[in-house]
A and B are shown apart, each in its own frame.
Chain A
Amino acid sequence: MKNHIPLQVKCDGDQGPIAVRYHDKPLRVVARLEYWHDTGCWGAGESEKHFYRLILEDQSIREIFYDLVEEEWFLYKTYD
């Protein structure tokens, strides 16, 4: 995915991410604030993505997504 940083994410079955490796640093997920699906611009060939807004153990809030076609996790947004 252009413009997005790939991530390594560990999931707990259907419950979603439980840990994220960010800048080589593994971080546990403390809380899952939101979870949503975005079909994207399907007319332009974009793929569907599943988003999570998470609080990580370093107390940072980040949004990550899983691309269903690429089958890969990416960082979407980091809250200051």
Chain B
Amino acid sequence: MNFVHLHCHTPFSFLDGASQVEELVRRAAELEMPALAVTDHNNLSAAVQFAQAAAKFGLKAIQGAEVSLADGSHLTLLAEDEGGYASLCRLLTRAHLSNPRGQPAVRAEDLEEMPGVIVLSGCRQGLIPRSILKGDYRQARQQAELYRSLWGRSSFYIELQNLLLPGDHYLNQRLLELAAELDLEVVASNNVHYARHEDFFLHDVLCCVKKLITIHAIDPARPLNGESYMKSGTQMQALFPDCPQALANTMRIAERCQSFLHEPVFHFPCFPLRPGQEAARVLRRLVWEGAQRRYRRVTPAVTERLEYELGIIEQMGFPDYFLVVWDLAHYSRQQGIRYAGRGSAADSLAAYCLGITEVDSLQRGLLFERFMNPERVGMPDIDIDFESRYRDKVIDYVYRKYGSEYVARVATYNTFRARSGLRELGKALGFPEAELDPLCKRMPFYARADQIRSLLQRLPELRDSPLHQPRYQLLLDCCDRLAGFPRFLGMHLGGLVISDIPITSLTPLQESGLGPVISQFDKDDIEGLGLVKLDLLSLRTLSVIQDATAQIRSSGQDMDYEAIPLDDRDTFAMINRGETIGVFQLESPAQRALQSRFRASEFEDVVTSMALIRPGPIKGNMVDPYVARHLGQEEVSYLHPWLEPILKKTYGVVLFQEQVIEIGRAIAGFTPAEADQLRRVMTHSRSQKMMEELGRTFVERSVERGIEPALAEEIFACMLGYASYGFCEAHAAAFATTSYKSAYLIQHHPAEYYTAILNHQPMGFYPPRVIGNEARRRGISLLPPDVCSSSIDFSVEQGAIRVGLKQVKGLSAASLESIVSAREQSAYASPLDFAVRTTVPQDSLDSLIRCGALDSLCSHRRFLLSQLYYDLEKRQARQSGTTLLFEEQVIPTGADFSLAEKRTWEYNLLGLYVGEHPMAAWRPALKKQGFKSSRDLPDCAAGMTVWAAGLLLHPHRPPTRSGKITVFFSLEDEFGMIDATMFEDVYMKYGAYIFGPRHGPLLAGGKLHRRGEGVSLIVQQVSPVLYSAT
């Protein structure tokens, strides 16, 4: 039977589609249907994935949407061709942007201009069926006449659905009458919401999530039955036995519609040029000018490389794209906005000459092919980090320059995770919120919705989770099924596309939750549309650098960030001690552990460090052998002399992706494009079959060049072993510059740098309390917040860090402004004077007193709190021009709060310890019992059993090659940090203490492990502290 489903919802109908796009396409292919249409509610987000899946299964993809009209009715729209698709994009954009967010509605007048669109009258929510069901046949007829006049009888069909619902028989009879009266064609659909009948329960649960009801509620929005699945042609024939034309018309429509979007048609941005100018020529001029600036004397090697790159850039049609990025860099420089190009763009010498990146790819021997080559399947994109506070200014510039009709922010598909799945589906299944909340919170935040069952088996902290009970099994089934379903569209961190044609011809736009207008496609799908993404990222480290260097200069010291020497011995000494908290990309426990034994002595070692501490090398147990070779403790060997020039800088190890390309070229004689393909297959963990095919080609081509087959196989196996986790060297080099220079600033200007870090929280690996503690460890005092002297931000005060008033929890911008401006008039004379002259509300005044910000006016905090009501009364009297009956000076009496109480409030309200670290209070008792501090550990012998205590920090379980769980965490005390490792057997016993609910410090006992200058603890036992420090 020939039939095609022309009305089908995917999970992009957001809670109204219960089968993945590919599942639906596969099912249609199994049912031997030649085509399929996707018609999600008011969006086209599935379009690219659908087109690609349909191409894979040999189906024609018909793009469409089920749109909502202003009166709440629905219409099914199908794009006949790319023109029709563009019509849909424009229509949906107007529907979204001319209405409040989340309530898209197509205006009747917009329906008049939809060339290339085929319209079906819709489901029961269509205006025509709705009128019939209300008994108003006349209105149905009028509407049908109107639609026929708008689109003609060749593009407007009466849609029949037989979902075995009460009234379907009657409705279809009337619709057939109407079609006959108006000489309209009918078409059958099944309003598909899931692939198979058994998926009904998930669709029903999702409907309940959408309607905020439970599955026990009776609601007309819930489906009455499970008939909205993808039925076969025979099943559809049985549902419409008297109307074969309705089925045949599905085929006719499918034949009329064209398939597109399965392959990208490129839409490069157009850089505005003066008349007569040509992008390629302008680019050439800028590149050569840049080369002159960078090198002063342009060598033949530079010329050859730039000619090669420019040739490929022109061949691939990228000159405009490069000009766009150059212009952004140029604008940022002009505006004094710090930026740094990152990623594989740093493989390009042209990008270096244009000032986009700071990595000299020629000098480093980096390969342009890693960034772009004509045979590459995916599109290259350029990522630039900007100072976080000015990144949006750069984005505004893009919109101004190219026009909002050509620019769009990229979306992200926010999908159901374990926590959100349990919470939302749990509520729909009738579990109370109070019951679900602890279940969700105990689930690791990173867990996917379909991992819950396996985590319940694996993680000791979930051993006693109620989720093991049979009553939750349906909930876990639902979570399994909806893993990866999009929940809503978010905004990509920095992704932006600029098109050569109006962007709303390629993608519908809608408002994001954060405000800016976004495309309906994520970064992968937008690339599938042929748009080239620009990543304009916001990097707080660059703002920290900017602030720190400005502060250094304002204190009268010389500071030229660009001129920071890359061979500063003190900086390397600091790195080698592992004292890198706050250093960009070098501050994680794993990086600190590496640095303390790596003995970095030059910039290249920092570059290597970027690539070494990655999941791959760690998982592959590659870090220790690499360090051994670096330290000369292990011999460096090469499988073939041709490999030596390629692998010399990494001691014979394939560490960087660029090296895979070079080996492909040197050993097998691959073309640059072939070699990049080799790199892509290896680094993206493609199928075993593809790997084997590539291996055969590599060996054959190597043998042709005189390499022994066995050796060629060994080289391939070696690449395969390492390259699956290879890192892009250009990216490592770009990051390493920022990394090393931030280390330099910390070594030589710690107060300024840590102050800047504290001002840009949240950022980096550690919370403010750790940054504050590290500053103190380096001898920098932390001064408490003070309404008389603190700025709004943290500031440097005679070599110390003064806590900024903004750090006090709950203080509004208006309160902060009020404190500072009143102080500028005259200094505060007393707490009463402060209360009277500012507008700080009562709860914020309470916080200021408790965290010690009024101590300089009166240090008796209990007294200040007791006087608070009086102070506020006085303020009110002042404002209303009255006087109080009693204005007596009250003398503080009675005891103040204890030190412990004050410290607790300080931490709770500031998020850092201004005074003594809480572990200091525990220290005498701990010392008496033989516990070591972080300061004691370096003096202990390797292998010695020690016990230590501290505040638990950053426990995590990175992936391992064996699949076994290894836990890393730190214990923070008043002297610094103790890094600890816990293997699976110990974790199984004590994991609940690490990942379960936490109360106070943690005790850990184990063997002291010494590597290089660093020490760590291999944990054997863990316990929470059970006794009081006071």
In whole Å, how far is B221's beta carbon from the nearest beta carbon of chain A? 15
A residues 24-58 in Cβ contact with B at 8 Å: 33-39, 41-44, 48, 51, 53
Inter-chain contacts of B170 with A (CB < 8 A): 34
B166 touches A43 (CB 8 A): no
Q: A36, B216: Cβ atoms under 8 Å?
A: no
Contact B201 A42 (CB under 8 A): yes
User: Would you call B165 and A36 a contact (CB within 8 A)?
Assistant: yes
State which residues 218-232 of B face A: CB under 8 Å.
223-227
Q: Are B224 and A38 in contact (CB under 8 A)?
A: yes
- Cα distance, A55 to B127, chains bound together (Å): 31
| A37-B224 contact in complex given A14-B238, A42-B201, C-beta closer than 8 Å | yes
A69 to chain B, nearest CB (A): 15
Tell me the bound Cα distance from A70 to B444 in angstroms. 44
Given contacts A33-B169, A43-B215, whether A38 and B204 have CB atoms under 8 Å apart is no
* A38 to B430 CA separation, bound complex (whole angstroms): 21
Task: Tell whether B466 is near chain A: CB-to-CB under 8 Å.
Answer: no
Give A63 to B166 CA distance when docked, in angstroms. 11
Interface residues on B, range: 20 to 34
Q: How far is the CB of B916 from chain A (nearest CB, A)?
A: 56
A37: which of B169, B204, B227 is its contact (CB, 8 Å)? B227
Q: Count CB-based A-B contacts (< 8 Å).
A: 44
Q: From the candidates B169, B225, B474, name the one contacting A38 in the complex (CB within 8 A).
A: B225
Q: B224 touches which one: A14, A33, A36 (CB < 8 A)?
A: A36
Which secondary structure dominates chain B's binding surface? loop
Q: Does B164 reach chain A (CB closer than 8 Å)?
A: yes
A34 and B429 contact, Cβ closer than 8 Å, known pairs A39-B224, A39-B226, A44-B216: no
Name the B residues within 8 Å of A51 (CB-CB): 166
Enumerate chain A residues within 8 angstroms of B167, measured Cβ to Cβ: 34
Closest to B169 in A: A34
Instruction: Flag whether B568 is at the interface (Cβ < 8 A).
Output: no
How far is A42 from B170 in the complex, measured between Cα atoms in Å?
27
Q: Which residue of A lies closest to B225 (CB)?
A: A37
Asked whether, in the complex, the Cβ of A36 is within 8 Å of the Cβ of B429, the reply is: no
Do B216 and A37 touch across chains, with their CB atoms under 8 A apart? no
State whether the Cβ of B200 lies closer than 8 Å to any Cβ in chain A. Answer: yes
With a CB–CB cut-off of 8 A, which chain B residues contact A36?
A: 164-166, 168, 224-225
- Which residue on A lies nearest to B162, using beta carbons? A35
B166 and A39 within 8 A (CB): no
Q: How far is the CA of A52 from the CA of B215 in the complex (A)?
A: 25
Say yes or no: B430 contacts A35, CB within 8 Å: no
Q: Which residue of A is nearest B166, CB measured? A: A36
A44 to B216, CA, bound (A): 8
Kindly state the separation between the CA atoms of A27 and B204 in the bound complex, as whole angstroms.
38
In the complex the two chains form, what is the Cα distance from A38 to B168 in whole Å?
13
How far apart sit A15 and B170, CA to CA, in the bound complex (Å)?
Answer: 17
The CA of A33 and the CA of B171, in the complex, are separated in Å by 12
Nearest-CB residue, chain A, relative to B474: A43
**Would B169 and A35 count as touching, CB distance under 8 A?**
yes
Nearest B-chain residue to A42, judged by Cβ: B201
Query: A7-34: contact bitstring with B at CB < 8 Å (1 yes, 0 no)?
Result: 0000000100000000000000000011
**CB-nearest residue of chain B to A51:** B166
Chain A nearest CB, measured from B819 CB (Å): 56
> Which B-chain residue is minimally distant from A39 (CB atoms)?
B225
Contact with A along B389-429 (1 / 0, CB 8 A): 00000000000000000000000000000000000000001
Query: Is A43 a contact partner of B216 (Cβ separation < 8 A)?
Result: yes
Partner of A35, one of B164, B215, B224: B164
Q: Provide a sorted-by-A list of 5 A–B residue pairs whose CB atoms are within 8 angstroms.
A: A33-B169, A34-B170, A38-B225, A43-B430, A48-B225
Question: B residues within 8 Å of A by Cβ?
Answer: 164-170, 200-201, 204, 215-216, 223-227, 238, 429-430, 474
Given A39-B204, A42-B204, 9 new contacts (CB under 8 A): A33-B169, A34-B166, A36-B224, A37-B164, A39-B223, A42-B215, A43-B216, A43-B429, A43-B430
